[in-house]
Structure 1
C-alpha cells in the first residue's frame, strides 16, 4: 500500500477481532518461523491439529500463514496446486463439509443454485455412506491430477457441543463420530493427496478422548501454537503499519508491547486496539501528505487495550434506537454464544433464519442489527461487511475475546446459561412427574421458574438447542401454577375462616366475662352465708356454756341432798332406841330419806347428761366456727380470682376488639371513607396500647400504614428508576440514601419522613449488583455484574468516580472494614485494600458457594452453602472457621444488630436463622417466607431489637426479636405488601424510624419501622 497523494486515503491494515484471511498474508507478520514448522509437520503427517489457547492466533496462522505458503509451493514434494475446503463444524459437521466441498473446491462449473443444492445433497450422501466417504467424494469429482485437497476444520471445539447435543437427543447414529472417522480415514491413506488440518482451543483437549482414534491421531500430528516473542509481537505491530503507509512512535510501540505482555489470548484485543488506534489517527490526519506518526494520544483516546473493545461494542449497542432492537440484539447474542464446558465461553454460529425465530422477528429486523455490529471498522459479527445477508447466512461473533471483554455480553452469557439451567431442571421435573416419581413444582422453585418464563418468553426454537421436550415442560409448569393458585385461594379462604373464628372467640370471651361477674356475685353470697353461720355457732357456744353451769349447780344440789339424807338416817338410828314408840314415824322418815336419795341420784344423772350435751354443743359450735372461717377464706380467694379473670377477659376482649377495629378501618378505607378509617385505626392502636398489647400487630400496622399512605398520596413510593432496583443504602456521613439499578443508574436521595427525593444521578452503564459505604469517608464502592469495583465519592450533592478495579465473577456482597474490603462473587472471595479511594487486590480465593459476609464483635460470619461459618478475623476468611452452623437450605444473606447481640441469616428456602452471639446460646430457625430471603437487616438504635427481611415472595417482614425468641411464635410478625415483584434489598434510615425496600418492580417504598411511629405521624396531622 503506497501512501498517499492528495486524492488517496490510508487503508486500515488491521482486521480487528476477526482472524486474518488468506488474501491478507501481506499484512500477516511475526509468525514466519511457525509457518515453516507447520509445513514440515504437514509433510510428515497428513492429520495436523493446531492447538492453542483462545486468542493465540490459530486461525490466522493457518489461513494467512500456512495456506499462502502451500499455494506458493513451499511444502516439498506436494507442489503448488491446492484445493482448500475450509469450514466450521457448527450443528451439521458433515453437511457443512459437503457444502464447502461443492462450493468452488471439487466443482468449478456448477451453473445455478438448484444444481448446486443437488450436488451438495449427492456429496453429503456419499460422505455419510461409509468412513471412506471423503476419499470416494474426491474420486467421483474427477479432480485434475496433481491437485492436493486441504480440509481445514476451523473452531473444531464446536464439534464437542454438537456431540453433547447428540447424546442428549439419543437418536442412534452420531454424526460427530462419523465426521471424525471421515477425517481420520482420509488422512491415513496415501493413494490420494488429501490433507486434514484443524484448529482447536487447548482447553478442549480432554474432550477428544470421547472419540476412538482421535487422541492417537492428535498425538501424532499435534502442533501447539507457541507464544510470540517480544520481537515477533513488535513485527506484528509495526509490519502492517508500514504496509499501510504510516509510521508509529517508539513510545506507542513500547506501550503496546507492555500492555499485551506474554498473555497469548490478548492478540485479538491487540489487533482490535490497533484497528481503533489507526481509525483515530486517520480521522486526525485525513489525506495529509505528511501525516504524524501513530502515537499514544491516539491509543489513549480509544480507551487502550483495557477498555477499547468494550467501549467500541457499547458504541455499536448505543446505535440501537428502540427497545425492540435492543431486545432482538440481546436474544441474538445469547443465541450465538454458549458458556458450554468452560466459563470463558464458546461461539455457537446460527443461521439468520434461526435467530429470527428465536426473537420472533422478521429477517430484516435481524439484518438491521447485524449490520450495525459488522459494519466496516467494527467486525464484531461474521460474515464480514460487504457480503450480502440472507436467511441462510451463518451469523457468528468474530472472536471469543468479545465474550471475555464486553461487559454487557458477559452478563448476557451468564444470564443465558442460568436460563438454560432453569429450563433443563424444568424438563427433568416434568419427566419425573410424568413417570410418577416426582411432584408438581412448589415455591420457591415455582416462582423462580415462572418468573423466568415471563421474562424470557422461551419458544420451541430456543428450547430445541437444549431439550426438545418444550411442550411437556410448559404444560407441567402451567399445571404447577394452577395448583399453586388453588392453594393460595384455599389459604385465603382459611384465613377468612380464622377471622370469623376470632370474632366468635371474642364473643365467647365476652360470655366468660359475664360468667366471671356471676361467679364474683356467688362468691359474695358464700361469704355472707359463712358470716351468718359463724354468728349462729357463737350463739350456740354461749348457750352450751350456760347449760353447763346449770348442770354443775344441779349436781351440787344433788350431792347436798344426799349428804342430808345420810345425816337424817344417822339421826334416826340414834333415836331408834329412845323413841321406839315413834317407830312408825321413823319408818316413814326413813322412806322419805330413801326417796330423797333416789331423787338426788336422778338429779345427779340429769346433771351429768346436761354436762355432756353442753360439751357436745361446744364442740359443734367450734366446728361450725372453723367451717365458717374456711368458707370466708374461700369466698375471699374466689372474689380475687374472679376479679383477675374479669381483668384478663376484659383485656383479651379489648385486644380482640382492637383487631376488629383495625379490620373495620381497612374496610372503611376500601370504601373511600378515609377520615372514618383513620379514626378507627387510631382507636385500634390506642386500645391495643392501653391493654398492654403486643408491640407489633399486623392488622393494626396495616390499618395505620395505609391511612398514612393515603394521606400523603403514595409519596412513599419512589418510581424514578427505569430498571430493577438492586440496591438501597443509607449513607452514615450525610443521612442521605443511595440507590442503584440493573441499568447502571445511581440516585442520591434526600430522605424525609418516609419519602425520597432525587438530588442527583450518575450512570455507570453497567448492571450494579452491590453497593457498600467506606466507613469514616464519603466514599462508596459500587460493584457491577460486568466485573468492576468502582469507588465513588458522594459528597454534598455530587457523585464522582475515583477509581475502579477488576472483580472476578458477579458480585453477591461486600464487607468494608477499616482499610480492607472483602468482595464475595459467584467465583470466590477477593480480599482488597482500599487506600485514598484506590482498590488493590491482595488475594483471590476461588469458590462458588459463598454468599454474604458480616463483621461482629465476635468475629466474621460468612454464608457458605447450607452453613454459616464464623472466623476470628477478616484476614482468616475464607480459611478454617472456628465454628460452623447448619441451616435447612442455602444461606443468601447475613446480618448483625448494632449492639452485636444477635447474628441472623436468611436462606433460599425462606427460613430465618437466628442466634445470640455468645458461646452457650442456642440457635433457632423459623420459616417466614414462601420463597428466598434476599436481604436481612437489624433496625439501628434503641427501643427494642427489630429485624426486617426481604423476600422473592414479594413481601417484607418486620420481626420483634425478643417476642419471637421468647414465644417461639410468629404471631406478632408484621408483613408488608406493596411490591409487585421480588424484593432485593432493604435499608433502615440512620435514625431507625423508617425502612426503605428496593424491588425488581423498579420501585423503592418507604415504611414506618414501628406502629407508634405511624400513630404519632397521624396524630400530628389531626
Structure 2
C-alpha cells in the first residue's frame, strides 16, 4: 500500500489550506497513488507529492496538472492558486533597494547590479580604444543603453559626455557617447543630421554612437567615407550570462533565486534579446513577492511572468490610439501571428510604409511590446499572444481568412523580389479564392493590392482575347453572307481565320476565298 502522507500542520495558513485542498481533491478522485497521478499528469510522483506537502506553494503548471489528474476544475484552481500566491508574497520594506531595474535602463550608479555583459563590455572598451568612431547596434530592447551607461562608462577614465541625438557635440578630447541615434533620421531632423555629420567629419571628438539595428548602416554613413566606424553588435545573452544576470543581483540583495525559477526564466529569455526588459521587470515583481529571502517560481508566476506585463503595456498603447491607428494595430498584430504556429516576424515589405502605420509601430516598439531589428519586426515575447485578451480575440476571428491573407502576403513579397515576374501571379481557382476573400472589407497593404490587381488583370486578358476572336468570327460570317448578295445561305459557309478578317473589309466582289478555312454550318 502507498505510504500515508504526513499530516499538515494546523496553523491556519494559506499555504496549509491550499495543500489541504489538493489532498481533498485527490481523496474525492478515489485516492489514486502518486505513481498513478504521475502517469496522468506527466510530472514525477515526488513533484506531485510535494505539491500537497504544505512546505511551499507549487508552481501553477504543477498545480493544474495535479488538478486535471484528479478530474478537478482547472479554472477554479488557477484562481485559487493566484489568490494564495498573492497572500503569501512579502511586500518589500520601504528602505530596501531593489536588485533589478524593471523596464528602466541600468545607469552608471547601477553598475554594481549590472551582470552578464562582461564579455561584451570588454569588446566595446577595446573598440573605443582603437577607433575614433564606434557604432553600437542591436535590436530594440537588447540593452544598448544599459551597456553604455552601466557597462562602458564605469570602465573609462577621463572626460566622458553622454548625450542624445541632435544635441551639439562638444569639442576637445572628451569621449562623446550618443544614445538613440535613430532619432536623427526622424522626419524634420535634416538640419540636426547635417550638423551632426559635419561635426563627425571635421575631426571632432571621439564618439560612440548607439543606434537601433534598422538604422545602423545609415548611422555609420554619417562619419563619411574617410573612416569606417567599428561596429559592436549587442545580441542575445547566452544561458550562462542570463543565469549570472538573474542570480548575481539577488545575491547582492542577500536573496536566493530558487532553481525552478532560474530554469524557467532562462528558458523564457534565452535567444530573445527583446525579452530582456521583460525579464528584468518580471524579476523585480518577483522580488517584491519574495518569500522571506527567496525568489520563487510561484512569485514569478504570480507576477505574470513576461506575458502579463507586456499585455498590459500593449493595451495601454492601443487605448491611446485613435480609430485609424487602432485599425492599423489590429492588422499589424494579426500579421505577427502565424495561424497555428505562434508568433512570427514580419519584414518591412509586408507592412505599409505610410506615416500612420510607421507611427503605430513606433509606439509599440517604444513600449517594448514589439522588437525591431535591421530587417524584421516581431513581438518581444510569444507569450503576448495568449496573455493579451484583445489580441486573442483578434486571432480567433476568421482563421481560414488569415491563412488566405498570409499566402497572399508571401506571394506578393516573392513577386516583388523577382521584379514582378508575370509567371508568379495568381491564377485559376487560387486567384478566385483570394478574390472572394478580398470582397469583404479587408486591410491590404499597397503591395498586396498591387499584386492582386496585377493577377486579376492577367487573368482577364485571355478572356478578352477570346471574346474579341468570337466577335471577329461573327463579323467574318456577316461579311461572307453579305458577299453572297443577300441570297439565302443553304449549306456550309467558309469562315476565314481570325487573323485574316481585315481582308473582308474590302468590297465583297474582291474578297478572295482563303485557302485555310473552316466550315460553319448555319443550318
TM-score of the superposed pair, with normalisation by structure 1 = 0.27
* Larger relative helix fraction: 2
TM-score of the superposed pair, with normalisation by structure 2 = 0.49
Higher RCO (CA < 8 A, seq sep 6+): 2
Q: Of the two, which has the highest radius of gyration?
A: 1
* Larger relative strand fraction: 1
